[in-house]
Structure formats: structure tokens, C-alpha cells
Amino acid sequence: MLNSIGWVATGIFAVSYFVKRPDRMRLVQAVAALCWIVYGVLLHATPIIVANVIVASLAGYSALRVSISSQQQAAATLGDQLA
């Protein structure tokens, strides 16, 4: 069971390379990192936990930043079309 969590995390992370939108890719990577955090907690492996807290935080922040930027660009384009 425990190894299954690690394999699922690995699979999710591998799938992230096939996601086309950058914000979605980073979101998938954040989910994989969350799985790795659970795995690390169950193993009592502090390096796995810390590394993936950092990865999840950066991936989540980056996904949010890219998503907001995309929305702002879409709004600007719509504004230009309406003007």
C-alpha cells in the first residue's frame, strides 16, 4: 500500500509532461507533490516532505500566476475587440 502512493505520485508527475497548458501542468505537478508529501509523512522521511512542500508551493504559485496572467491577457484582448 505504501509503495503504491509513491508510484501514483510518480505516475501523476510523469503525466504532467503531457499537459499542454503551462498552468495546468504546474497544477498537476503540485498534486503529484502533495502525493509525495503523504508518502513522505507515512515513511517519516523529512527530506521527502520538505522537498515536496517546496515543489507543491512553487508549482501552485506558478500555476496561479500563469492563470491570472492568461485571464488578464484574455480580458485585454476582449477589451481591444470591443473598442
| Positive/negative CA dihedral, 18, 19, 22, 28 | negative
Give 15-44 as a DSSP string: HHTT--SHHHHHHHHHHHHHHHHHHHHHHT
pLDDT tens digits, 10-44: 999 999 999 998 888 999 999 999 999 999 999 99
Range of the domain at 13: 2-82
Look at residue 17 in the predicted model and tell me its pLDDT.
93
Total structural domains within the chain: 1
Long-range contacts made by residues 17-24, C-beta under 8 angstroms, separation at least 24? 22/63, 22/66, 23/63, 23/64, 23/66, 23/67, 23/70, 24/63
Interval 65-82 mean pLDDT: 71
Is pLDDT of 66 > 80?
A: no
**What is the pLDDT at residue 81?**
66
Range ranked top by mean pLDDT from 20-24, 42-46, 60-64, 75-79:
42-46
State how far the Cα of 12 lies from the Cα of 17, in Å rounded to an integer. Answer: 9
